[in-house]
Amino acid sequence: MKNPKDTKKFDQGMAELEAIVSRMETGDLPLEEALAAFEAGIALVRALNQRLTEAEARIEVLSRDAQGTLHVRPVSEQELKE
């Protein structure tokens, strides 16, 4: 079974990460709270990165052959980098 944090919407996770960063940037957090916020932020970054990786794997490209027929193919690694 997936962890509830894994099922969060990407935008929700980004908003939560931005809130953590804002709290940490104030410099007003006690050390223990700052460490807990940092750890939560790292966990969110990893989860969000995983979601992006999964999304990239699902991207497909429509292309036409010489006869004009449409074909669906996975996007290549090179295309993702461009």
Maximum CA extent, the chain: 67
Inform me whether the pLDDT recorded for 6 exceeds 50. no
Summarised one tens digit per residue, pLDDT across range 14-26 is 999 999 999 999 9
Domain with 68, as residue range(s), is 4-81
Residue 76 gets which letter from DSSP? Answer: P
Confidence of residue 69 (pLDDT cuts 50, 70, 90): confident
Which has more pLDDT, 64 or 53?
53
Number of domains into which the chain is organized:
1
55: domain CATH number is 1.10.287
CB atoms inside a 10 Å sphere around CB 34 = 15
